[in-house]
Structure 1
Amino acid sequence: MTPLTSSLISPEAVPADERGRARGRLELGISVRGGRSVASRQFHEGALRVLRPHYLDQSGQVCYVMVNPGGAYLGADLFLIDVEVEAGADLLLTTQSATKIYRTPGSFAEQRMSIRLGEGARLELMPDQLIAYREASYRQNSHISLHPSSSLVMAEVITPGWSPDGASFKYEELRLRNEIHVVTGTGSQLLALDNLLIRPPLGDVTGMGFMEGFSHLGSLIVVDQRVDQELADELDQLTRDLDAFTGVSLTISVGGTTGLVLRALSNSTEELNRLLAACTGVLRARWSGQAPLDLRKY
């Protein structure tokens, strides 16, 4: 098999103009020692860091919480995150609180994340919700490379922030892009290119044609050799009793691994969190024998 790169981003590897622009950089490398996952490399700079590691059960999975002491993303902010989970390691990565995007006059705020998963590695990426406030423009780009035997679960909830006049969708634009590659013996092959663009129309328009009349969006991406049509049908059935409009689709198979993408529309962050928790709970119980996540942070 072609090995995944094992080096994290060094300060010299980031272009000088981006280093000057970046408000925060975080690099985290996870490996296995003594039967459990630990941080083998760690670096932070500016307005990003992680709290001390936690172990939520006896599985050996390590949990890290990302923190932005500044509290929000503002215009022209750039945040760089680099994560590597080495062979056999297991990481749960979450955030301390919601990611808040405030007004971005002049230029959009941006987060760029690079993720690499080695052979048999596992990553659960479970951030709190993304809240876009009035006149906010935000871009989030994630580049993911994984081994065919890796397991990836990513969840996201997007919600409009409070507006003084009570109107919905006062943010300008949200662009979220996930590019997922599988590294096989013949090289790197694209598994999925997931682009999400939310650009509200002028005025308080919330009817059919834009978010189908809903205000909140939830997303779940799963990449694993155990993903198949039966699982997609099961998760689709699981969501039908919840107050959300949901769709599930599968990617092509590359190197024996397949991706699943679930989208859900609702008017409630709590309802979307329940939906995503129910789905990830099924995966955790079936694939790793773990209890559903309880990431209460207060």
Structure 2
Amino acid sequence: MTYTGYLELEVGKKQDRSVITNSFFDGVLKITRPTYLTGGLPLLTLIHVGGGYVDGDTYKTEVIMHESSRLALTTQASTKVYKSPRFGVNQAMEYVLKPNSELYIKQDSLIPYKDANFTQSTNVYMSSSAVFYYTDIITPGWSEDGKHFQYKKVASKMKIYVDDQLAVFDHQLLQPCEQLDQMMYLEGYTHIGTMFFLHPELNERIIEELREELICDEKFRFGISILSVKGISVRILATSTPIIESFFTKCESLIRGFLNNVEIIEWRKG
């Protein structure tokens, strides 16, 4: 199959340093050279050179983390999904984390504009000794009349397999025809953020401390769920993208503080 954008990465460990052992990209997806952060963590930035997703686009990303390797992966800018009523836009992502590997993914917001139809499927296959961190944000696109939720559909499925067993299945389906601003949906909020963090040292004490430190206000609401494996999922409803970004930054900082001796990732460039 030919994709609009395709990315394949492998990260290994050589002489106590994580390095990109294999990379291939095609179409509109590109990556930067790795920047090594404190502690030798390589940071890669994913770049979309096409300007946005349009009807019929297909994308696939595959990342393999070999034993004891580490990687931080982020995006250059928000992902804009334009009018796509006929075929929609489809994106598939697959991440493989072998024992003691660490993969941190922080994405800029997904912005679906009027009549956008976007479907994403994410599969994670990881060892119980690995670390997986992932965030995404959905922001309603601008429209001439100023109304929110004019996209057709945003569907996102996340499956996380730990030691070959399905541990997490999250299906997020947003269809504005179902009145997303009403009770039991977004309840008046316009932006939604999701975070998954799986770590072999996470425990209930750390999660309770995190809940105590994080307080809701009128600008956002959030919930933290303990997974059946060592990890958490977090969902936040808010009124703007910066609010969610700040919240995730605070979550990350607190968790790393509770875990001790884990450096804070310097995500933003320049």
**TM-score over 0.5 (shorter chain):** yes
What residue identity is the alignment partner of 2:8?
Answer: E
Aligned counterparts of 1:285 and 1:50: Cα–Cα separation in 2: 30
- The residue type paired with residue 278 of structure 1 is K
Deviations 1:40-89 (A, max 9, x none): 000011111111100121x1211110011002111111101000111101
| Contact 2:216/2:222 (8 A) holds in 1 | no
User: Which residue pairs with 1:149 in the alignment?
Assistant: 129
- In the alignment, which residue of structure 2 is the partner of 1:235? 210
Describe how 1:99-248 pairs up with structure 2 within 5 A: 99-183=79-163, 188-201=164-177, 206-241=181-216, 243-248=219-224
Q: Residue 73 of structure 1 corresponds to which residue in structure 2?
A: 53
Structure-1 residue corresponding to 2:68 = 88
Moved over 4 A (4+): none
Contact 1:200–1:210 (CA under 8 A) maintained in structure 2: no
Measured at CA, do residues 288 and 34 of structure 1 come closer, stay the same or move farther in structure 2, by a change above 3 Å? farther
Q: Determine the C-alpha separation between the residues in 2 that align with 1:213 and 1:234.
A: 28
Superposition deviation, residue 205 in structure 1: 6.2
What CA deviation, in whole Å up to 9, does each residue of 1:247-280 have, x standing for no partner?
Answer: 1111213xxxx23111010001111001000111
Cα separation, 2, equivalents of 1:35 and 1:168: 49
Structure 2 residue 4 is the aligned partner of structure 1 residue 23: yes
Instruction: Mark the runs of 5 or more structure 1 residues left unpaired by the alignment.
Output: 1-17
CA gap of 1:164–1:45, structure 2 versus 1, over 3 A, is same
Counterparts of 1:28 and 1:262, CA distance in 2: 27
Aligned partners of 1:232, 1:97: CA distance in 2, in Å? 31
Alignment check: 8 A CA contact 2:206 2:255 kept = no
> What is the RMSD computed on CA atoms of the aligned residues?
1.7
Superposed CA offset, 1:134-193 (max 9, x none): 11110111110001100011111111011111001111111111111012xxxx111111
> Quick check: 1:34 aligned with 2:9?
no
- The reply to whether residue 250 of structure 1 matches residue 231 of structure 2 is no
In structure 2, how many angstroms separate the alpha carbons of the residues matched to 1:154 and 1:141?
A: 14
Contact 2:210 2:255 in 1 (8 A): no
CA distance in 1, matches of 2:248, 2:150: 26
8 A Cα contact 1:61 1:89, kept in partner: no
Q: State the distance in 1 between where 2:257 and 2:33 align.
A: 26
* Cα distance between partner residues in 1 of 2:242 and 2:88: 28
| In 2: Cα distance, 1:28 partner to 1:288 partner | 29
- Aligned to 2:33, which of 52, 74, 93? 52
3-state SS of 1:240 partner: coil
What secondary structure does 2:215 align onto? helix
Give, in angstroms, the shift of residue 125 of structure 1: 0.5
Aligned-partner Cα distance in 2 for 1:33–1:286:
29
How many angstroms apart in 2 are the aligned matches of 1:238 and 1:218? Answer: 19
| Counterpart residue identity of residue 191, structure 1 | A
Counterpart of 2:252?
280
Number of residues of Structure 1 aligned to a counterpart in Structure 2: 269
The percent of aligned pairs where both chains have the same amino acid is: 28
- Structure 2: 5+ residue stretches without partners: none
